[in-house]
Structure 1
Amino acid sequence: MKNKAIFLLLLSLVLLPLYASASPLVGGWRPLKDVNDPHVVEIGEFSVTEYNKQSKSGLKFMSVVSGESQVVSGIKYRLIVAVNDAVEIANAGASKNYEAIVWEQAWLKSRNLTSFKPAI
């Protein structure tokens, strides 16, 4: 009986880390596997379009540079997006990076831009 209890304890100590590392942490930021995934690009385009509406700016989406996602009653995306400013394009300006945070609840067909600021 004692050997069986020790065996089960050791087995759980071996298997627990394997199981825990395979499951995503709720609330923790996870790197995106593919920033060129069409859905990720769509979220990036949405962030720039929504920022332009809110601030009456003329930024042009170029690409998603990097990103993370977080599970929170939906999915929150924190993306670094490369954009060009319409005014600076005329002056041969280079693209700039911005950090965009978008909260998406796909089952409600809802997206909300919660933050958009120059990336540091």
Structure 2
Amino acid sequence: MNGGYDRGACSAPERGAPATPASELISRLRRVLRPEELNCACRETLDGALDRFDQLERRRESRRRLAAARDHKERIFALLAFLSELDTLTEAESDRSVFEELALLFIEIASSAEAGAAALREL
């Protein structure tokens, strides 16, 4: 009798939570550390500890991704301040390179927005 645990079974990760490198490592550890002869209480304790560690690692990774999205938001905010120069320009601007520089700001904003969106999608 194995106390309701099958050899290949492991607790399910949080629903919808992406696998992290730590989660994959924990899955491999489960296969190695859960021999059949391990008694039920010991197995349950080990499974509980691995589950808690997995949840902590997933939360840490989610915090990292959220922080990255916030960093991109701050970058966009800073770029918008530079882009406000566009309000003072007219079509008669003699230095045409300023338009190219402002165009590059738009590209940087788009790039940062895409990276921020990607970080949020990974949550």
Common fold: TM-score over 0.5: no
- Of the two, which has the highest radius of gyration? 2
In the superposition, the TM-score normalised over structure 1's length comes to 0.30
Structure in which a larger fraction of residues adopt helix: 2
TM-score normalised to structure 2 length? 0.29
